[in-house]
């Protein structure tokens, strides 16, 4: 289906985009890669009267290392992150970027658009929640920076005002003895995952000193599996601690039964993905190079 007719506005700067959104009001939406917004418009699930295009704003697509953090401009495409040596410093980011849909979507879709969309099935929030991540926003009253955990409020809902934009995503580089992994289970490449698990852990010899675990596609937002983290923190990674963490992940998941699988199936799935992700993260924390790609049904 064709989208409803709309007016197209091309912004020359983020400040100008904010002004345009303020003047055009509630019927206006920013356009980044269009990989979520345009399909929704074609399905008439979104019907904005005005689109403010961010794609031609200079200096909004970059990956920079500064003060122990990686900075991603909002318009940085998934494919740029997939192919970046700098982003590969945090392997879990590469796992995520390389696993999103197909090459066409990865060439257009942006990290800023993904975070702003807050799709419960999206990959970025799940991965970024395992790392100290901040979202820098720009609006009518200037800029503000907030932790990702405070940015996403609910499914498809963030703290962004109608005339406010994501400007940058900042991710602190984890310590040397840290390793992460993101595993998503998919029915095919160009579809969202059925379930996913992201793990970032820091090892002290054989003991897991610290760990962050997030589950994807099994709730209205990415779910932080705190009891699963507690099962591993300060412990050696053994079959026993893994089993406790898996059981805690199964309990933390809050999935819906749908065409991708039953709720019980998804609980079992994320627990199994978590176990594999922990093993890979621990190997990476020991300095091993481990390739990860999505698991297909």
Ligand X SMILES: Cc1cc2nc3c(=O)[nH]c(=O)nc-3n(C[C@H](O)[C@H](O)[C@H](O)COP(=O)(O)OP(=O)(O)OC[C@H]3O[C@@H](n4cnc5c(N)ncnc54)[C@H](O)[C@@H]3O)c2cc1C
Interface residue list for ligand X (CB under 6 A):
29-37, 39, 54, 74, 100-101, 105, 108-110, 112-114, 116-117, 119, 122-124, 160, 165-166, 190, 192
CB of 156 to ligand X, least distance (A): 8
- At residue 181, φ and ψ (nearest 5 deg) are -155, 145
The pair of structure tokens assigned to 289 is: 């190079």
Q: Which one, 117 or 229, has the nearer CB to ligand X?
A: 117
CB of 119 to ligand X, least distance (A): 6
**Residue 59 and residue 19: Cα distance in Å, rounded?**
18
CB of 202 to ligand X, least distance (A): 26
Ordered strands of the 295-296 beta sheet: 223-224, 207-216, 195-204, 178-186, 295-296
Ordered strands of the 28-31 beta sheet: 7-10, 50-53, 28-31
Q: Which one, 53 or 247, has the nearer CB to ligand X?
A: 53
Q: Which one, 185 or 192, has the nearer CB to ligand X?
A: 192
Per DSSP, the three-state class of 105 is: helix
Q: Which one, 189 or 251, has the nearer CB to ligand X?
A: 189
**Residue 137 and residue 141: Cα distance in Å, rounded?**
11
Cβ-proximal residue to ligand X, closest one:
109
Q: Which one, 161 or 230, has the nearer CB to ligand X?
A: 161
CB of 227 to ligand X, least distance (A): 26
CB of 279 to ligand X, least distance (A): 23
Q: Which one, 50 or 282, has the nearer CB to ligand X?
A: 50
CB of 296 to ligand X, least distance (A): 12
How do beta strands 50-53 and 28-31 pair?
parallel
| 145 neighbors 137 (Cβ within 8 angstroms) | yes
Q: What distances in angstroms separate CA 152 from CA 32, 156, 158, 184, one per listed residue?
A: 18, 8, 4, 21
How do beta strands 207-216 and 195-204 pair?
antiparallel
Per DSSP, the three-state class of 87 is: helix
The pair of structure tokens assigned to 118 is: 């807050």
CB of 243 to ligand X, least distance (A): 29
Q: Which one, 110 or 202, has the nearer CB to ligand X?
A: 110
């Amino acid at each position: 289906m064709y989208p409803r007719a709309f007016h197209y506005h091309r912004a020359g700067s983020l400040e100008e985009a904010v002004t345009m959104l303020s003047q055009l009001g509630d019927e206006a939406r920013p356009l980044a890669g269009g990989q979520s917004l345009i399909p929704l418009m074609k399905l008439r699930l979104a019907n904005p009267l005005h689109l403010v295009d961010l794609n031609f704003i200079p200096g909004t697509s970059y990956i920079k290392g500064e003060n122990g953090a990686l900075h991603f401009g909002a318009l940085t495409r998934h494919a740029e992150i997939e192919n970046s040596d700098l982003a590969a410093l945090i392997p879990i980011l590469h796992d995520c970027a390389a696993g999103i849909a197909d090459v066409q979507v990865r060439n257009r879709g942006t990290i800023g658009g993904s975070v702003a969309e807050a799709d419960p099935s999206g990959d970025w929030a799940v991965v970024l929640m395992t790392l100290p991540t901040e979202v820098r926003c720009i609006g009518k009253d200037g800029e503000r920076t907030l932790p990702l955990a405070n940015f996403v409020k609910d499914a498809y809902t963030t703290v962004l005002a109608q005339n406010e934009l994501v400007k940058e995503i900042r991710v602190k580089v984890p310590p040397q003895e840290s390793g992460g992994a993101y595993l998503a289970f998919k029915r095919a490449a160009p579809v969202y995952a059925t379930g996913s698990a992201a793990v970032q852990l820091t090892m002290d010899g054989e003991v897991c000193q610290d760990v962050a675990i997030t589950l994807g596609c099994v709730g209205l937002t990415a779910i932080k599996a705190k009891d699963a983290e507690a099962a591993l923190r300060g412990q050696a990674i053994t079959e026993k601690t893994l089993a406790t963490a898996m059981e805690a992940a199964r309990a933390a998941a809050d999935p819906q039964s749908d065409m991708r699988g039953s709720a019980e199936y998804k609980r079992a799935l994320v627990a199994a993905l978590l176990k594999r992700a922990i093993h890979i993260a621990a190997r990476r924390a020991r300095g091993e190079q481990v390739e990860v790609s999505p698991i297909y049904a």
